[in-house]
Amino acid sequence: MGELNRGYLVAGGVAVLGALAMGQGMRDTEPEPHYRDFGGPRALWRIPDGQALPYSPPVRIDIPGIDVRAPLMRVGQNKDGTVEVPSFKEASKVGWYEHGAAPGGRGAAVVLGHYDGLTGPAVFYKVHKLRPGAPIRVVRADGRVAEFRVDAMERVPKWEFPRTRVYGKVRYAGLRLVTCGGKYDKDEHSYRDNVIVYAHLTGSAGQARP
């Protein structure tokens, strides 16, 4: 993550400032030169309301297709209203925006991870490699595992960040993964774009703890 892209958004009924720039920029090349958008926002129109799980905070995210198995930490807002992100010392962790939905609950659950860190690739370094249908699993504090399927991906300039699509209200149990993309801007010490993966809940495993 790097410099923050600011723009007003509403999440969980709270007006905050958007902040979505991931990647310290250890390299000056574009992540995955052959990256290509798929699905795009139109793919989200076809998602049914479907099922949803009761509220429970997440504790871990598993994305087998890109070898991610990472702890989830809560992130909120900084004093200036921007969205918190994990520190570079915690680049192996993923941040769950606690003012939005919890993964598995109805609404948009947003998790943010670094593309790279102080010493090299970070937890979401390969997120751009995900494709439609790829599974994502979120282990929750209640013992259940929320199972998601990737629907769409887009890469957008940070100054055009789609706040409504990412943080806005949805009727289904959605998940958004956010990280950096595009070329590294040496002057701004930040990547120019954001990569956003959209997914929806398809089921759950395990039993809730009493």
Which residue do the tokens 């979120």 mark?
Answer: 138
Give the CA angle between residues 36, 193, 138 to the nearest 5°. 75
15 — pLDDT class (breaks 50, 70, 90): very low
- pLDDT score for 16: 30
Supply the range of the domain harboring residue 148.
Answer: 8-205
Give the model confidence (pLDDT) of 69-99 as tens digits. 999 999 998 888 778 888 888 888 999 999 9
Strand, coil or helix: 167: helix
Residues 172 and 201 sit within 8 Å (Cβ to Cβ): yes
Number of domains in the chain: 1
Residue 1 in any domain: the answer is no
- pLDDT score for 148: 97
Residue 61 in any domain: the answer is yes
- Mean pLDDT over each residue of the chain, to the nearest integer: 80
- pLDDT score for 41: 62
The answer to pTM > 0.85 is no
- pLDDT score for 4: 32
Residue 52 in any domain: the answer is yes
Residue 162 in any domain: the answer is yes
- pLDDT score for 186: 78
Residue 3 in any domain: the answer is no
- pLDDT score for 35: 39
Mean pLDDT of 46-51: 81
Closest CA to 128 of 166, 91, 181, 184: 181
Q: Has residue 24 got a pLDDT over 60? A: no
Residue 2 in any domain: the answer is no
Mean pLDDT of 2-28: 35
Give the model confidence (pLDDT) of 109-142 as tens digits. 999 999 988 888 899 999 999 998 999 999 999 9
What is the domain-level CATH number for residue 112? 2.40.260.10
Residue 210 in any domain: the answer is no
Cα(97)–Cα(109) distance, rounded to whole angstroms? 7
- pLDDT score for 142: 94
Q: Long-range contact list for 73-81, CB < 8 A, 24+ apart? A: 74/98, 75/112, 77/16, 77/17, 78/19, 80/17, 81/16, 81/17
Question: What's 84's DSSP letter?
Answer: P
Residues 179 and 23 sit within 8 Å (Cβ to Cβ): yes
User: Of 9 and 108, which is predicted with more confidence?
Assistant: 108
Cα(150)–Cα(71) distance, rounded to whole angstroms? 20
- pLDDT score for 200: 94
Strand, coil or helix: 121: strand
- pLDDT score for 44: 75
Residue 136 in any domain: the answer is yes
